[in-house]
Structures are given as C-alpha cells and as structure tokens.
Structure 1
C-alpha cells in the first residue's frame, strides 16, 4: 500500500516487451491510471524515449507504486 500525504509524489514501473523491428503498431501518447482507492482516472504522458511496444497495449504491465521519498 502506498499512502500519499498532500504534496507527496509516487512512481510506478511499466513493463512490456520491446519491439525493435520498426513495425510496432502501438504508439501510445499517454496512459490512463486509476490510483488505488480512487474512482477517477488520471491521464499521464507516456514516458519520453520509451521503446516501442511489441504486441498490444494490453501487454503493458503496471507494477506497484512507491513514494519518491
């Protein structure tokens, strides 16, 4: 469980198989996240410089959050 106080920040890791073929059909520009214990989503920019996704968007896995402290 990650508990954030006002002003705190959290990070999470994305994992997926890289497509180095140059033929990837997945080109995300953002990711929609629903924070734990929330009902609304937050739209974040896709990480700059992230490699192309091999497979579908659904193949991207999100690993648990942790605070930046």
Structure 2
C-alpha cells in the first residue's frame, strides 16, 4: 500500500477538508462538487488522475 497513489483517495480528503472549512466559514457560503471522473475508470486499476468540477460561491442577496 505504500506505493499506491490513489487519486480518488486524495480527492476525498480534499473534499472533506473543503467541506469542513466551508462549514467553519458559515452561511451563506455554498460549496458544490460536481461529477467525479477517475481515470482510468477501470476495475482493479488504481486511478492516476481524478477530474471534478467544483464551485464555491457566496450567493448575492435578493432585494
């Protein structure tokens, strides 16, 4: 396991830390992770690349 470089595992850690920081910031911050695309997306192959769009925004108040 020491040689394993699983990008999905790394991405999940980024997600957890980002969500924790967004919660600490508080409302009205919105954090969204889109589709997660590990590459190659093949059974029994450790992904070497993970692509996911994400957005962090503070919505503008509606007057």
For the aligned pair, the TM-score class normalised by the smaller chain equals under 0.3
Higher strand fraction (1 or 2): 1
Max radius of gyration: which structure?
2
Question: What TM-score does the superposition give when structure 1 sets the normalisation length?
Answer: 0.26
Could you say which structure has the higher helix fraction?
2
TM-score, normalised by the number of residues in structure 2: 0.28
Higher relative contact order (CA 8 A, sep 6+): 1
